[in-house]
Amino acid sequence: MAYGVASGALKAGVVIGLAGAASAEVTVAALGDSLTQGYGLAQSDGFVPRLEAWLQEQGADVSVINAGVSGDTTAGGLSRVEWTLTPDVDAMIVALGGNDLLRGLDPGASRENLDGILKAADVAGVEVLLVGMEAPGNYGADYKRAFDGMYGELSEKWGVPLAESSFLGALMQIEDRQAAMREFMQSDGIHPNAEGVTVIVETLGPDVLDLVERAE
């Protein structure tokens, strides 16, 4: 009889343990630049808190860490990815390249940096969502082809999903660009305002939700 009680207690403990493991919070690090960091916005209006709130509204038990640094290039992201990937991090969003574009950096160098970031995530066993950026046409067709294409190439190489939209893609695809700039962008024309962040989160949110589910 004592054996039966112990066995029952053991089974109950296992069930409780499994339930606890199943509901464990997933921690996602958002590695990026000022777009991720929330430049020019109230803290609650930034990409990371808005994304976390959206994910939780979908029923995800998730915490999103703001690993965005204003002005960071892909090289900057590579230099700090090791200490971003703490043991608590289960998944990572990689959204870098905007400052490489602003500086007209060699896409080949940007590709190597992103490759290094994805390698670090692979070594750490962390799930990744890669979010691309789009080069403007004024750098020339060859530059744009190399820059835009590197995200898909790295996604295939490392077997990580590439978000269906680039970070600012949802805003850039609005037909009336001038109206979109007035409604969704800050006065610098580079960073989204609070309304723009809402559109971005609603666009990228489903991809991040998939990331969370993979990391559970």
Instruction: Tell me the catalytic residues.
Output: 34, 188, 191
- Bridge partners of residue 93, in order along the sequence: 30, 129
Q: Are 192 and 168 within 8 A, CB to CB? A: yes
Nearest to 136 by CA among 91, 108, 116, 166: 166
SS3 167: coil
Token pair for 20: 């606890």
131's torsion region: left (phi>0), alpha (psi -120 to 50) or beta? beta
Among 156, 164, 68, which residue's Cα sits nearest to residue 118?
Answer: 156
In the chain, at which residue ranges do the beta strands (DSSP E only) sit?
26-32, 62-68, 91-95, 127-130
Longest CA span, the chain: 80
**Helix (H, G, I), strand (E, B), or coil: what is residue 102?**
helix
Contacts of 77 (CB under 8 A, 6+ apart): 31, 32, 33, 94, 96, 113, 114, 117
